[in-house]
């Protein structure tokens, strides 16, 4: 019973990050608003696209590990990747975003990623 839950959560998280990355590449300014720190209209979209590429890469790597590696390798991936949403939480707080976005989106995501890691390590 634990195996489908652990892998199911890992797949959902990897697909979600892949979606976020694609959104930042295709619609960077609306994606930034959803992130919690709206982009300045005259700002350089390249930085938003960098975030998109980072997230797209994380998502693809996660799916590749799920497909081709064991649960502990995927667990280590999740543990390391949890750094990104924790950092995103701090970035949102430092740059005038709301606490609701910082904690409700990014911190909560980091916690869910850590739960995923724990489930994968338990297999």
**What tokens does 70 get?**
């064991």
Q: Residue 41 — very low, low, confident or very high, per pLDDT cuts 50/70/90? A: confident
Q: Residue 43 — very low, low, confident or very high, per pLDDT cuts 50/70/90? A: confident
User: What residue has token string 């489930």?
Assistant: 119
Write the pLDDT tens digit of every residue in 57-100: 999 999 999 999 999 999 999 999 999 999 999 999 999 999 99
41 vs 4, more confident: 4
């Amino acid at each position: 019973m634990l195996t489908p839950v652990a892998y199911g959560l890992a797949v959902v998280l990897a697909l979600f990050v892949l979606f976020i990355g694609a959104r930042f590449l295709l619609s960077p300014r609306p994606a930034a608003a959803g992130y919690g720190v709206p982009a300045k209209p005259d700002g350089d979209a390249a930085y938003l696209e960098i975030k998109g590429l980072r997230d797209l890469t994380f998502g693809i790597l996660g799916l590749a590990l799920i497909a081709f590696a064991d649960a502990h390798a995927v667990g280590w991936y999740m543990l390391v990747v949890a750094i990104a949403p924790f950092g995103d939480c701090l970035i949102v707080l430092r740059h005038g975003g709301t606490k609701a976005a910082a904690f409700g989106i990014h911190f909560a995501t980091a916690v869910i990623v850590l739960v995923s890691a724990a489930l994968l390590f338990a297999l």
